[in-house]
Amino acid sequence: MGKLPPSLRSANFAVNTLIKTPSSSVPHSKIPSPSPPSTSKPHYFPKKSLSPKRKPTSNNQQPQLPSIVAFDSTTLSDAKTLFNSLISNPKNVPSDPKFYNSILQSFSSNSTLQDSIFFLNHMIKTHPPFSPDRFTYHVLLIQSCKSVDHSLSPVHQVLNLMTSNGFPPNKVSTDIAVRTLCSSNHEEQAIELVKELSSKDSPPDTYTYNFIVRHLCKNRSLSNMNSFIKEMRDGFDIKPDLVTYTIMIDNVCNSKNLREATRLLGVLSEEGYKPDCYVYNTIMKGYCMLSQGGEVLSVYKKMQEEGVKPDLVTYNTLIYGLSKSGRVKDAKKFLSVMMEEGHIPDAVTYTSLMNGMCREGDPLGALALLERMEARGCAPNSCTYNTLLHGLCKARLLDKGMELYDVMKKNGMKLETGSYGTFLRALCRNGRVAEAYEVFDYAVESKSLTDVAAYTTLESTLKWLKKAREQGLVI
Amino acid sequence: MLPQRMKKAMTDNPKKLANLIDLVNLPSTLREFMGQSQTSRLGCFKRVWSYIKENNLQDPNNKNLVNCDEKLKSILLGKPQVELTELPTLIKLHFPKAPR
């Protein structure tokens, strides 16, 4: 492993982020496309993406509305007085319910749930033209979810209020409640609520369900998530779909749990799902995470057998995996394959390939690739430069590395831990300690690393230099 | 990968980290130089290094050497000339391990 670290890490990071994006955007980008549910879904989908974002929209609206209420004081009586004075002027009272919702929202943002409910009642009583709609109650629902402590009683209170006013909770309510609870770290309560709502009749839809699963993946243990899935399956016949499996596979691959990943793949096919491009990409990425980059080729072959069309991420992962496992020749081949297929290689593609070439001891080839990449109109990023800098320093081509560093400095690019360390070592080895100090200054100044990390690296490099001198390894 | 992991371990090690960034009451010699009575080892290193740069104390023929002025001599064991390589070690002398 000694040879690989930072360049690997740099590309690893880039590839990860790139791969993560599609898999995390899967539920939203992909689901509307399949034909059967699409009639109902697209209708529902926009509403969904609206609802969590409703806060900003109503906030944006505030300035446009006349004399919108800013609640300086959080007491109920002040708010009532303010509202009364507001409606006393007929010019100020638009019929749009959004107006009242935003008033309620701005009040609720810094008051207690009880006060908000009282305030809503006051608004209804003193101003009959205003009739609360579902959104009005969702404002209260969000507030109640935020004020959850150990029991769900505030949420129940609002849900009951909704039911008694003719707005029994629906999927949107479930989704809002779950997202709010999860974002305030109340996963247990979210699960409890979902189970409860499933047994009444607003079960979570696939978006909500997948949201919880992903949230549990990130924040809770695997067994925790598995028991949630089992309970939902046994209790309410809500089963994971392809997206859920993609999320779960991605999760176990990230934690290098090969056994669970294999099991999930088995379950996936047992359930009759045909893996799509996202699943395959996730599996490929999994192999890369498990340091079995060479296996990506077999996944690619399988994709071809199954007739699944690879996308940009597939090729990027493929090239990354092959580069990582030292099969740069194959990786280069795929660069041309992907271009023939009409995919434009991006900075990640090139960086992965350069990473492989540097690892093979061909940083000059990687440098030539940088030129070609720029000629093709693809701008290198800091990852690219860090990979090259690391490769050049490893190959003892310090002068080239210095040139590259100057370019990085000119563009204000950050150094990564790995390339910073290698660069310092290379400079010190060549007796250019003063320049190493300057690189330290740049690392601190550009906030590439924390002061502590930059200094400890410098200190230990100098210590190493002293030892190497004593042993006569370095002059 | 190994040296990096070691380095990481070093910053992860709370004692060693504390040794680097905790504020320490300075001995009188250092207090005069720093113009403050408390500083961390890291802060002290950065101050000394920027002092060297501000006053152009690096040897013009060999940037790796520092020609100490009187002020710098007072905190660096009175040496007329020090190597940049040994700067962290010299500064560390002012920050003995806290007796426990």
Nearest CA in chain B to A458: B88
Among B39, B59, B64, B67, the residue to mutate for chain A (most A Cβ within 10 A) = B64
Radius of gyration of chain B (CA): 15
Question: What pLDDT is attached to residue A39?
Answer: 32
- Examine residue B99 and state whether it is found in any structural domain, yes or no: no
Q: For chain B, what is the domain count?
A: 1
Size of interface A-B (CB pairs under 8 A): 64
Nearest by CB to residue A455, choosing from B3, B45, B86, is: B45
| CB contact (8 A) between residue B42 and residue A452 | yes
Q: Is the pLDDT of residue A129 over 70?
A: yes
Chain A residues 212-251 with a CB less than 8 Å from chain B? none
Which of B58, B83, B88 is the closest to A459 by Cβ? B88
Whether the CB of B81 is below 8 Å from some CB of chain A: the reply is no
- B13 within domain boundaries: no
pLDDT score for A191: 84
DSSP label of A101 = H
Comparison of pLDDT for A460 and A98, the residue scoring more: A460
CB contact under 8 A, A437 and B49: yes
Kindly state whether A1 is in contact with chain B, defined as any CB-CB distance less than 8 angstroms: yes
**Interface with B, mutate which of A438, A459, A463, A474 (most B CBs under 10 A):** A459
B8 confidence band (pLDDT: 50, 70, 90): low
Q: Looking at the predicted structure, is the pLDDT value of residue A463 above 80?
A: yes
| Contact B86/A at CB under 8 A | yes
What is the phi/psi pair of residue B65, to 5°? -105, 145
| Cα–Cα distance for residue pair A403/A405, rounded to 1 Å | 5
User: For A259-285, what is the mean pLDDT?
Assistant: 84
Residues of B in contact with A417 (CB under 8 A): 4
What does the pLDDT read at residue A386? 92
Is there a domain that residue B9 lies in?
no
Query: For residue A162, what are the CA distances in angstroms to A197, A466, B83?
Result: 14, 74, 76
How large is the average pLDDT for residues A200-211?
83
pLDDT at residue number B12: 67
Average pLDDT, chain A: 78
Chain segment A330-347, per-residue pLDDT in tens:
888 888 888 888 888 888
Task: Tell whether A466 lies on the interface with B, counting CB pairs under 8 A.
Answer: yes
Nearest beta carbon to residue B85 from set A2, A418, A433: A433
The minimum CA-CA distance between B53 and chain A, rounded to whole Å, is: 10
pLDDT band at residue B98 using 50, 70 and 90 as cut-offs: low
Interface check A431 vs B, CB under 8 A:
yes
Contact A456 B49 (CB under 8 A): no
Residue B80 lies in a domain: yes
> What's residue A420's pLDDT?
92
**Does A462 score more than 80 pLDDT?**
yes
- Cα distance from A324 to chain B (closest Cα, Å)? 14
- A345: which DSSP letter? P
The predicted structure's pLDDT at residue A389: 92
Alpha helices in A360-397 (DSSP H): 363-375, 382-394
Query: Is B24 contained in some domain?
Result: yes
Task: Please name the residues in contact with A330: beta carbons below 8 A apart, sequence gap of 6 or more.
Answer: A297, A322
Size of chain B in residues? 100
Give the pLDDT of residue B9: 52
Domain assignment present for B100: no
Q: What is the pLDDT of residue A51?
A: 37
A131-186 pLDDT, tens digit per residue, is 788 888 888 888 888 887 777 888 888 888 888 888 888 888 888 888 888 888 88
Amino acid at A59: N
Which tens digit of pLDDT belongs to each residue from A217-253?
Answer: 888 888 888 888 888 888 888 888 888 888 888 888 8
Minimum Cα–Cα distance from A453: chain B residue: B11
Distances (CA, A) of A242 to A126, A255, A273, A298: 51, 20, 7, 21
Residue B6 Cα, gap to closest chain A Cα (Å): 10
- Contact A453/B at CB under 8 A: yes
Interface check for B2 against chain A (CB to CB < 8 A): the answer is yes
Is residue B1 a part of any domain in this protein? Answer: no
Chain A nearest C-alpha distance from B29 (Å): 23
What CA–CA distance (Å, rounded) separates A444 from A414? 10
- What confidence score (pLDDT) does residue A69 get? 56
B91-100: Cβ within 8 A, 24+ apart: B91/B41, B91/B44, B91/B45, B91/B48, B92/B41, B94/B26, B94/B27, B94/B29, B94/B30, B94/B44, B95/B19, B95/B24, B95/B41, B95/B44, B97/B19, B98/B19
Share of chain A above pLDDT 90, in %: 6
Residue A440's pLDDT is 92
Tokens representing A308 are 């699944």
Residue A5 has pLDDT above 50, yes or no: no
Q: Which pTM value belongs to this model?
A: 0.69
The string of DSSP letters for A177-214 reads HHHHHHHTT-HHHHHHHHHHHHHTT----HHHHHHHHH
Range with lowest mean pLDDT among A235-239, A427-431, A454-458: A235-239
What mean pLDDT is predicted for residues A367-377? 89
The parent domain of residue B70 ranges over: 18-94
Contact check, Cβ <8 Å, A462/B45: no
Nearest to A5 among B1, B10, B85 (CB): B1
Question: Domain holding B86: CATH number?
Answer: 1.10.245.10
Q: With an 8 Å Cβ cutoff, is B17 touching chain A?
A: yes
- Whether A437 and chain B come into contact, CB under 8 Å, resolves to yes
**Cβ–Cβ under 8 Å, residues A333 and A325:** no
- pLDDT at position A390 is 92
Judged by CB atoms closer than 8 Å, whether chains meet at B21 and A417 is answered as no
Give the distance from residue A436's alpha carbon to the nearest chain B alpha carbon, in angstroms.
10
Of the candidate ranges A15-24, A85-94, B37-46, B61-70, the one whose mean pLDDT is the lowest: A15-24
User: Which ranges in B22-65 belong to alpha helices (H)?
Assistant: 28-34, 41-54
CB atoms B85 and A437 under 8 Å: no
Which of A288-292, A352-356, A455-459, B46-50 bottoms out in mean pLDDT, i.e. has the lowest?
A288-292
Q: Is residue B5 part of a domain?
A: no
Say which of B2, B20, B84 has its CB closest to residue A437: B84
Structure ipTM: 0.86
Which tops the pLDDT comparison, B99 or A114?
A114
Q: What is the pLDDT of residues A45-102, one digit of tens each?
A: 333 333 333 333 334 433 444 445 566 666 777 777 777 777 777 666 677 777 788 8
Instruction: Name the residue in chain B with its Cα closest to that of A461.
Output: B85
B4: closest chain A residue by CA: A418
